[in-house]
Amino acid sequence: LGATVILANTYHLYLRPGDERIARLGGLHVFMGWDGPILTDSGGYQVFSLAQRRRIDADGVTFRSHIDGSEHRFTPEKVVVIQENLGADIITCLDECAPPLDYDYNVQALARTHAWAQACKAAHTRRDQALFGIVQGGIFPDLREQSARFLTGLGFDGYAIGGLSVGETKAQMHTVLELLDPLLPADRPRYLMGVGTAEDLVECVARGVDMFDCVLPTRLARNGGALTRTGRLNLRNARFADDPGPIEPGCTCYTCTHFSRAYVRHLTTANEILGHHLLTLHNLHLLLTITRELREAILTGRFQAYREAFKQRMANGE
């Protein structure tokens, strides 16, 4: 598929099989058989999603495992130790992803996020790992600006943008990115967390973003969903039952060059895991292809033309 970096989840790997076991086995690269760069998130998003199973205080968060109910605690220092054990190339600070529309709570959460960023930076010992700070602040311009200035003042290897695609509108997300664009260093990577539709890639790159992660390609695939250059398809729909064509005409992915819409629909409606795999391959292929095209368009000075053509295709639909 041509992916150059992959993400692994700190929360899930900490619980199972355990960061210390992975360290004993040589780190994530050896454990997974992946010789390219690996990024780990802090696990904070998953912990804070456990609304009924966690308690937050100034020093960290106590939570119960979604697997067996056992109690655990994440502090900034512990999250850094876990990620250093995992051995990823890029690691991230513990942060609090607050509800995007509650100003008063965002003020409190941002104070914790900034204190934890300082603690993570102080605890960071492996200089072969890049440490990213995470900008928070909901949809509020003053808080986002405060966060960007505070974190750039500390000085990180890159800057993640968290707390977006969690309920706000696309217009609100774009406004936040436009605000942050001139505030974040141009010579450091900018990583937009949890965002990754085809349209998002194009529009957020236009607003200064370099890196994305998102579960969408696999989540859609599990439900029969396919991404295309003209929108999404639900392969479970009856209209695809006798369709001999590929998911997307002209697509060069393994799925489209070997199988029909009718066959993939059969697999998904029969709940065959192969259907999930084939749709995941297609969805990832499309997003990675678009990413390469965006990079090439920027390098050749054609980005704006590419963006307009992309938007026109989406507007026209299938």
Mean local confidence (pLDDT), 195-206? 95
Q: Is residue 35 part of a domain?
A: yes
Residues 181, 233 within the same domain: no
How many CB atoms lie under 10 A from the CB of residue 70? 9
Residues 129, 249 within the same domain: no
End position of a domain, from candidates 174, 194, 214: 214
Give yes or no for residue 287 having a pLDDT over 90.
Answer: yes
Interval 102-152: pLDDT, tens: 999 999 999 999 999 999 999 999 999 999 999 999 999 999 999 999 999
Q: Is residue 139 part of a domain?
A: yes
Predicted pLDDT of residue 49: 74
DSSP state of 292: H
Catalytic residue, from 19, 41, 95, 200: name it: 41
End position of a domain, from candidates 151, 181, 214: 214
Does residue 257 or residue 165 have the better pLDDT? 257
Q: How far apart are CA 113 and CA 106, in angstroms?
A: 10
Residues 170, 86 within the same domain: yes
Give yes or no for residue 29 having a pLDDT over 80.
Answer: yes
Q: Which residues have C-beta within 8 Å of that of residue 159, sequence separation ≥ 6?
A: 132, 133, 134, 135, 148, 151, 152, 184, 185, 188, 189, 190, 191
Predicted pLDDT of residue 239: 97
Give yes or no for residue 50 having a pLDDT over 90.
Answer: no
Residues 204, 255 within the same domain: no
* 17 upstream amide cis, omega within 30 of 0: yes
Predicted pLDDT of residue 316: 85
Catalytic residue, from 68, 142, 213, 242: name it: 213
213 given a catalytic annotation: yes
The domain total for the chain is: 2
Q: Is residue 306 part of a domain?
A: yes
Predicted pLDDT of residue 173: 96
Q: Residue 167 — pLDDT band, cuts 50, 70, 90?
A: confident
Interval 228-246: pLDDT, tens: 999 999 999 999 999 999 9
Q: Is residue 77 part of a domain?
A: yes
Q: How far apart are CA 315 and CA 48, in angstroms?
A: 36
Q: How far apart are CA 265 and CA 76, in angstroms?
A: 45
Residues 45, 102 within the same domain: yes
Mean local confidence (pLDDT), 4-17? 96
Residues 179, 237 within the same domain: no
End position of a domain, from candidates 159, 179, 214: 214
Residues 210, 305 within the same domain: no
Residues 125, 227 within the same domain: no
Residues 185, 308 within the same domain: no
Q: Is residue 1 part of a domain?
A: no
CATH assignment at residue 148: 3.20.20.105
Cβ(223)–Cβ(193) below 8 Å: no
Structural domain harbouring 227: 219-316
Residues 171, 273 within the same domain: no
Mean local confidence (pLDDT), 190-204? 95
Cβ(61)–Cβ(74) below 8 Å: yes
Does residue 318 or residue 22 have the better pLDDT? 22
Interval 62-91: pLDDT, tens: 999 999 999 999 999 999 999 999 999 999
Residues 47, 110 within the same domain: yes
Residues 210, 292 within the same domain: no
19 given a catalytic annotation: no
